[in-house]
Structure 1
Amino acid sequence: MHLLNKVITGASFNLAIACLLLMSAGNAPVSSAQATAPNKATAEPRPHDPLIDSGFEHFYNLEYDQAIQDFERALEKHPNDPLMVNHVTTGVLMRELYRMGAMNTGEYANDSFVGQAHRPADPKAKERIKALVQRAEKLEDQRLSANPNDADALYARGVTRGQFATYTALVERAWFSALRNAVGARHDHERVLELAPNYTDAKLVVGAHNYVMGSLPWGVKVAVSLVGLSGSKEKGLQYLNEATNSTDEIGVDAKVVLMLFLRRERRYDEALKIARGLIPRYPQNLLFAVEEGNLLRASGHNPDAAAVYRRIWQAGREGQYPGLHYELAALGLGDLLRNQKDYQDAAAAYELVSEAPQPDREYLQKANLGAGEMYDVLKKRDLAVRKYQAVLATNAESPPAQIARKHMKEAYRDN
């Protein structure tokens, strides 16, 4: 337990990002050519199903309800296929994470993520996710009991374990359980690659885990090696690059993972190339669009980043992101202008958040706090206090509310 605690507290980013990025990894149906292995059990035929294509088209456009409907219909046609169960799990889990406010990629670019709790999960969604995981595990265990070298079943179990790692980390915030499941996912997919080296889809999870473990501080890396955990950033990035060549959704997942890791490595041009390839393919994916702005901002191209944020805001106003919280772009714009000490325009950008229909409560709180601080800097104390009061009215127990209380007693000053 002490050793695991060192892993978590010594490299909080790495554990969090590992769990996040395993969340939908490996959901692609596998071809028999990929999965050839000695003594492999005969898998249920998995013909091309248009419902899966349609489901993932909706999924990557953040249309989770429609995606889940397609995945459920596919599962009805293939009730004994654990990967079909995993598709449904992916849709339900990601929909809930988005609702919770845990899908902002900007939060995964630093080491403070573990301490950032979001709104509670829906109890019904939690129960459904756990039931789906149990259903998939039962099917996988049946297959593996008949043939331990069933590469398809090992692959599916690795996906299930990766999904549950994400659930336990981001929903239950149970870090030890998340680490255990993430390691189990890696071991399953490493075994798949031993049985079938051409099983490229398995390189997504193995590559992500290698990068994460390779990113640990030296002292922690030595400690975890004593319990059989190791990794290489270079090997991880290589595997992820290979996985991006997949023609199905595995290729998309690999690109998303690689984009975030490249951002972590400050290889912004490469990450931007990936983002700009995904945006036209999935035009309703708000998160891909915002990530372009985040990458431009991180790389010091502030005017270009501001233009991207403004374009997203306008597109949202015109209906391009129905039901999505495009006010995230206004919040990003406010933060960018604030860092440039353009306090008046930053306050105006923060004010835009409240103009969105049904803005996300966390975004609204952050924006009101930011606007209040800008008004304090601009010596507009009355406006600042009103904004701090709005922060408290939204959620008086949140971290922004604690800051707002301090500012109500003493005006904020920019250092």
Structure 2
Amino acid sequence: MIREEARSGLRYMTGFGNSFETEALPDALPLGRNSPQKCNYGLYAEQLSGSPFTAPRSTNERSWLYRIQPGVKHQGRYRKAGLGMLRSAPNREESALPIGQMRWMPIALPAEGLNFRTGLHTITTAGDAEGQSGMAAHIALVTQSMTDEYFFNADGELMVVAQEGRLRFCTEFGIIEIEPGEICVIPRGVIFRCELVDGPARAYVCENYGGAFTLPERGPIGANCLANARDFKTPVAAYEDKVGPAQLYVKWCGEMFVTDIGQSPLDVVAWHGNYYPYKYDLRHFSPVGAIQFDHPDPSIFTVLTSPSGEAGTANIDFVIFPERWMVAENTFRPPWYHRNIMSEFMGLIYGVYDAKPKGFVPGGMSLHNMMLPHGPDAPAFGKASNEPMVPVKLAGTMAFMLETRLPQRLTAYASTLQAIDTEYLDCWAGLERHFDPTRKEPNW
């Protein structure tokens, strides 16, 4: 079950939703008992729960941690700290912009020193963080590693989508490293430190206030394709036995707090359970699609979903548009023009997005809120309407979408960025009127 990561020498366990056990020292993990009276090596037993104690077995999440010092020794008296550009829902009054389709060019990495926490810049918020519903979409602009600083988010889990540069997350459960095309999910409450691997990095971040991300049901697709559980990786135990002054930050109910500590909180020598951080390579996603005609809904590209209380309606769907073959006959192949109840935040990790080949560039973003129409730009429509119906491979591309049933509100930061594409609406200006009641065959 343990897989070696050739690129960095890191080791992972594989599988999504499994209950794992791992130890960094022999016999640090007790056998047959969750919380023994006396742990080997003088460790303390501590449980981290990601669900209510009485949640059904299928959704009950918890892990036992065997650590050098208990969590109460890693937290002192908290004081308020600045939020920087980080915001939480509800965030109703910040943006003065009217509703509309939005697009941003890539936000440049700044010259100032920003670590993962201070480099989080909120673009949109939806729902209510205290009500544990909805999400926020952030951009992480990271120019320096966290040094003697640790962070955890009590408001929700964090999904980090690497876009430029590599990031290393040193967590209570072990070490995870991601590169562009990979994601990392850090559950609510898990403490971590983020380090740069080979220079400044930029990443998209989804903060999920609601139900934990899980694999979607496949329905008629059956047992295979989409994201397969075996391709998700969870770190093996790796601990820090480090004494010295440090700071622990926590985001709690939309506010930031900090406490001074005297040692590293990443001191878990062994752990077992089903609540842990994990990573996934989006290039392992196995897409399905139309193989004769018609255009399936984008939901067939769902990697992970955060369920809501309403069947079939997600709190968040994390959807990707990877490289794939387009083979449908007599079909307009790019995404069609549409309006829907969901709100769509998109980002392009690398390559070209087929519906917006010119203005939507890697590192950029777009927002199409609920019931606002959107679809291919004029050049994409013209090309797709006239090209021959032969198999075409969309190669070297990776876009993603955070789709939520809730409206996404802009922050003041997002609404005043110089990176706003003020000419975005013009991408549809070239869609001409072709209607002719005397001619059945269209003349594109």
Name whichever structure is richer in helix by fraction: 1
TM-score by length of 2: 0.28
Greater length-normalized contact order (CA 8 Å, ≥ 6 residues apart): 2
TM-score by length of 1: 0.30
